[in-house]
Amino acid sequence: MYTIEYILQKAKDNDLSKQELEIISEAYKFAKKAHDGQVRKNGEPQIVHSLTVAGICSDLNVDAITIIAALLHETYSLSDISLDIIENKFGETVKIIIDNLSKLKRLKLTDNNESSSIYLRKVLVGISEDVRVLIIKLADRLHNMRTADALPEDKRKQKINETMEVLIPIAHRLGINSIKSELEDLCLKYGKPDVYEEILEKLDDSRENLANSLEEMKNSISEIMIEHGIEFEIKARVKSVHSIYKKLSAGKKWSEIYDILAMRLIVPTESDCYLTVGLIHSKYRAIPKRFKDYIAMPKENMYQSIHTGVFGIDGHIFEIQIRTPEMDEIAEHGIASHWSYKERGKPIQAIMEQKLEMFRNIIDSNIEEQSDEIFARNMKEEFLKEQIYVFTPKGDVMELPKGSTPIDFAYRIHSDVGDQTIGAIVNDVIVPLDYELNDSDIVKINTNKSAKPSKQWLKFVKTAQAKNKIKSYFSKKDRENYIERGKELLEKEIRKQKLNISEVLSEENINKILKDLKLTNYDELLLSIGSLRYTAVYIINLIYEDKKSVQDIMLSRVNKTGTFKQNYKNDVIVAGTDNILVTLASCCNPVPGEPIIGYITKGKGVTVHKKGCANVRNMTTRLIDVTWNPNLEETNLFDVKITVKTNSLVNHILEIVTKASLKGVSINSIKEYNTDISIDYEIILKVKNNNNLNDFLDELKNLDFVMEVIR
């Protein structure tokens, strides 16, 4: 059980100042008073939980702020203490951390994707403000999972779901492996207790069977190290239950898992790591393909070590990991080591700063995404997907999701590099920009200051960062174009009405319009005109209190459905009969002017299809000749469904409606479909005939933002 004395001693060992130790003591007293009389579900006083969370954090060698916030992390949510009081007593940073933790506590993750997406967003938003939010949350969850016996089954299932879906993957990505591994084992223990116990029993047997071999290897390697005068520390490592479970689930047999027991050698320097692996290979036969150099090429979570597999003295296979003390701490604590090295001024600090900054940048570039599910998908692609490691020509390592392209690489370097990319060279070979990068590729990006991004890039880039930078570029460009267009339309209308531009656009009138339309500045007004949200006529009339919005007019046309025709017998002539029920097929929506064929449907009369419709193309029976009535009434309208695919993320409904209105086409309904690269539309039209329809479709195809119109 953790005590305040233990926490203070750990803080002192980590060179925290006397003043920081005093504030930690004060935070403990504050938390103890706030939680007085509160008891957890397992019967322990609430303050025990606060001490445990702070103790777990202090074992990670964190800073004073983290320990203070850990002690106080539930004072706000479980008492009447306000955030203002916490801020006044312990500072703004502590308050922000506790506020973010409280927001996470209120969320309940269920089995559905939407809930998981919202939870992931909240966790990542909290981390983007301060990564210490995650460290404390992990410590909090670890203690909760250690005491999960006291939870009801549904609550325990919820905690397991949150932990496996969100917290563990992020902990892995940031290298906090000491907590991540225990959380994985606890989730397996409570989620699949029979499997957990079976693996644990086999693991104990293996440990017992290999104990003598392991001790013999330790002694032999120790002799080698002493003989060559290399300082060292040797540890035994037992593979976690969950890691074994993953290998068994992937189809491996127990006898094929060679690294159940491993040895870890801690040596002073990087040079000693390479010297040590050479000495071990000279003594023991190395296993091909079991050597991995994570020092030269660190994992995405900053993990560094040399791994090698060798045959031991008695033939057993052993994995040996060789690393420096700094590498060992980062392997266990990951980004939590940030503050430890910050205080000690180690060179590794620069790497961690870069890692944290990149992590924040990726989150920040997606933070404004309105859809929680799209945000979650982007983040999972960035953080939770398998990663590759590629090099710049100078030898710097860049990590990217598998499947990334040179464009993703360019934007990872800098947004300007991405925007100005004109070509790429991979391993001294010119490659297309949609080339899929592989591990260890050396990538050079060719740029030109006058170059611009292409919307086609959105079809193949993989990182959310690249997608958002490209979208941002075109959103800004579209905005500029719309503002310029809005200015031209407004000034043209003012001149058309023979008004004085300076009088109409006086400061007083502009402020009135901005207030009435709830816009913040003149550019927004011009943007709304240029994008056809409002017409120039409407803006001018607004000055004289005529507030009927053109948007309301247009959308009312879209929403006005009218009465649907049930029988088209007067529109279609059926050969050899009259007074028969006639319907137009919804699969092809024939309209007057198009060749048609009838299909006799039992009990439902004749269904009229376009000739060549896939649904009647191969039929030879029950077909009947039909023709359009040459004396159709002018008021008759016919439904047609079209899909408009665009290259734009700007909403263009009003431009489509305007074109329809000019061509005498009614719009019955519009549905929007958002993709990563565009907004597409499914539209139900009402047209007079084929000429009316084709005129409108030709107008649509001429619009800059329209890529394709499908009927």
CA 332, CA 311: separation in Å to the nearest integer?
27
pLDDT grade for 275, boundaries at 50, 70 and 90: very high
Stronger pLDDT, 547 or 660, i.e. the higher one: 660
CA 129, CA 350: separation in Å to the nearest integer?
19
Which uninterrupted H or E stretch holds 56? helix 46-59
CA 163, CA 134: separation in Å to the nearest integer?
12
Per-residue model confidence as pLDDT tens digits over 643-689 = 999 888 777 887 888 888 888 888 888 888 877 677 889 999 999 89
Taking alpha carbons only, the member of 552, 494, 500, 558 closest to residue 526 is 494
Query: For helices 4-13 and 64-72, what crossing angle results, to 10°?
Result: 160
pLDDT at position 229 is 96
pLDDT at position 535 is 79
Q: Which two tokens stand for residue 327?
A: 């590498």
DSSP strands (E only) in 324-470: 387-391, 397-401, 421-426, 429-431, 443-447
Sign of CA dihedral 406, 411, 416, 417: negative
Per-residue model confidence as pLDDT tens digits over 111-124 = 444 555 666 666 77
Say if residues 139 and 97 touch (Cβ distance below 8 Å).
Answer: no
Q: Examine the pLDDT at 480 and tell me if it is beyond 50.
A: yes
Per-residue exposure over 615-646, b if at least 16 CB sit within 10 Å of its own CB, e if not: ebeeeeeeeeebebeeebeeeebbbbbbebbb
> What phi and psi, each to the nearest 5 degrees, are found at residue 224?
-60, -45
Q: Examine the pLDDT at 695 and tell me if it is beyond 50.
A: yes
Per-residue model confidence as pLDDT tens digits over 300-336 = 677 899 999 999 877 888 899 999 999 998 888 887 7
CA 33, CA 46: separation in Å to the nearest integer?
11
CA 270, CA 322: separation in Å to the nearest integer?
9
Per-residue exposure over 242-257, b if at least 16 CB sit within 10 Å of its own CB, e if not: bbbbebbeeeeeeeeb
Q: How far is CA 351 from the centre of its chain?
A: 23
The number of helix segments (H) and strand segments (E) in the chain equals: 28, 20
Stronger pLDDT, 647 or 5, i.e. the higher one: 5
pLDDT at position 17 is 92
Query: β-strands 261-266, 317-323: how paired?
Result: parallel
CA 565, CA 188: separation in Å to the nearest integer?
61
Average pLDDT on 397-417 reads 90
Question: For the chain, what is the mean pLDDT?
Answer: 84
Q: Which two tokens stand for residue 299?
A: 């994992």
Per-residue model confidence as pLDDT tens digits over 496-522 = 888 888 888 999 999 988 988 888 899
**Percent of the chain having pLDDT more than 90?**
41
CA 711, CA 692: separation in Å to the nearest integer?
14
CA 385, CA 377: separation in Å to the nearest integer?
10
Q: Which two tokens stand for residue 589?
A: 């929506």
Q: Examine the pLDDT at 561 and tell me if it is beyond 50.
A: no
**Percent of the chain having pLDDT more than 70?**
85
Q: Examine the pLDDT at 12 and tell me if it is beyond 90.
A: yes
Average pLDDT on 443-449 reads 95
Average pLDDT on 362-367 reads 62
Taking alpha carbons only, the member of 542, 497, 495 closest to residue 515 is 542
pTM for the full predicted model: 0.60
Say if residues 463 and 404 touch (Cβ distance below 8 Å).
Answer: yes
Taking alpha carbons only, the member of 667, 635, 642 closest to residue 653 is 667
pLDDT grade for 362, boundaries at 50, 70 and 90: low
Per-residue model confidence as pLDDT tens digits over 99-157 = 989 887 776 554 444 555 666 666 776 666 788 898 999 999 999 999 999 888 988 99
Q: How far is CA 203 from the centre of its chain?
A: 37
CA 227, CA 231: separation in Å to the nearest integer?
10
598: which strand partners? 608, 624
pLDDT at position 697 is 92
CB pairs under 8 A, 24+ apart, for 124-129?
124/170, 124/363, 124/379, 125/100, 125/363, 125/367, 126/100, 126/101, 127/170, 127/359, 127/360, 127/363, 128/359, 128/360, 128/363, 128/364, 128/367, 129/96, 129/100
Stronger pLDDT, 275 or 652, i.e. the higher one: 275
Taking alpha carbons only, the member of 563, 704, 559 closest to residue 636 is 563
pLDDT at position 409 is 96
Contacts of 178 (CB under 8 A, 6+ apart): 59, 60, 332, 333
Per-residue model confidence as pLDDT tens digits over 605-647 = 889 999 888 888 777 778 888 888 887 776 788 999 999 998 8
Per-residue model confidence as pLDDT tens digits over 172-193 = 878 889 999 999 999 999 999 9
CA 84, CA 75: separation in Å to the nearest integer?
12
Distances (CA, A) of 381 to 366, 385, 566: 12, 5, 49
CA 541, CA 535: separation in Å to the nearest integer?
10
Sheet with 582-584, strands from edge to edge, namely: 582-584, 605-610, 596-601, 623-624
Amino acid at 586: S
CA 509, CA 542: separation in Å to the nearest integer?
9
DSSP for 307-323, please give it.
EEEEE-TTS-EEEEEEE
Q: Which two tokens stand for residue 64?
A: 């004073």
CA angle 182, 298, 393 (to 5 degrees): 155
CB count, 10 Å around CB of 500? 10
Task: List the domains of the chain with CATH numbers.
Answer: 4-194 (1.10.3210.10), 195-337 (3.30.460.10), 472-545 (no CATH), 572-628 (no CATH), 638-710 (3.30.70.260)
pLDDT at position 461 is 94
pLDDT at position 555 is 42
Q: Examine the pLDDT at 264 and tell me if it is beyond 50.
A: yes
pLDDT grade for 564, boundaries at 50, 70 and 90: very low
Q: Examine the pLDDT at 370 and tell me if it is beyond 60.
A: no
Stronger pLDDT, 307 or 555, i.e. the higher one: 307
CA 265, CA 654: separation in Å to the nearest integer?
68
pLDDT grade for 603, boundaries at 50, 70 and 90: low
